[in-house]
A and B are shown apart, each in its own frame.
Chain A
Amino acid sequence: AQSVAQPEDQVNVAEGNPLTVKCTYSVSGNPYLFWYVQYPNRGLQFLLKYITGDNLVKGSYGFEAEFNKSQTSFHLKKPSALVSDSALYFCAVRDGKAGGSYIPTFGRGTSLIVHP
């Protein structure tokens, strides 16, 4: 079975400060990890993914995420937050092992609020 947890329902950060949105996962094989963003009244937009390779993954809009196998985490980060980053962020995981589910499991989402 695969699962993902986003322990924070909401993250508040001041504009210009660094931000972190946390995600931990559980899979039986190698994880494929994803971050999506959902702006108000919009669908999900892909931000970045980790399949293999470098643990630090860079994505859209200046976001990056670090894969940490020992901590089974894939936290989303940005060095300097913008008010326009305010949105709902979803972490997702799928099992990369042969025969594993090809359908990702999504976390509950974390609402990021960036204050001016």
Chain B
Amino acid sequence: SAVISQKPSRDICQRGTSLTIQCQVDSQVTMMFWYRQQPGQSLTLIATANQGSEATYESGFVIDKFPISRPNLTFSTLTVSNMSPEDSSIYLCSVEVLGASGYNEQFFGPGTRLTVL
């Protein structure tokens, strides 16, 4: 398994500002994922972050808006830039590790609840 922590757990921000969310994992992982969960919606994958390479963004998400860093195998950051109220969401960090079953399993952090005024 993997234990994931995120900072901050929640924040209230003003429109036009930026917020950086940190994700820390208790073991080295190759792939880290950032998801967004808008109110009343399911999880939407923003990007996949591999250490040592540029993040891969899903359709509808761009690096200028959601820059991601992956400096090592246990840490990643997601920045929400130039925020607007539409960015109000829960942002979740996730990792994939080899489970006891012999298959890859996905674990999630507790999430960062962002409210943009």
Contact = CB atoms under 8 A, between A and B. Distances in A.
Interface of A: 32, 34, 36, 41-46, 49, 51, 90, 102-104, 106-109
A32 B111 CA distance: 24
A32 B42 contact: no
A46 B45 contact: no
Interface size for chain B: under 10, 10 to 19, 20 to 34, or 35 or more residues?
A: 20 to 34
Interface of B: 4, 6, 33, 41-43, 45, 48, 92, 96, 101, 103-111, 113
Contact of B106 (A51, A104, A107, A108): A104
B42 A109 contact: yes
Instruction: Classify the interface of chain B: helix, strand, loop or mixed.
Output: strand
A44 B107 CA distance: 8
Contacts of B111: 42-44
A109 B96 CA distance: 21
A108 B42 CA distance: 4
Interface centre among A41, A44, A46, A103 (most CB of B within 10 A): A44
24 contacts: A32-B103, A34-B106, A36-B108, A41-B113, A42-B110, A43-B4, A43-B110, A43-B111, A44-B92, A46-B105, A46-B107, A46-B108, A49-B103, A49-B105, A51-B101, A90-B43, A102-B96, A103-B33, A103-B48, A104-B106, A106-B42, A108-B41, A108-B42, A109-B42
B82 to A, nearest CB: 26
Contacts of A109: 42
A41 B110 CA distance: 8
A109 B108 CA distance: 16
Nearest to A44: B108
B63 to A, nearest CB: 18
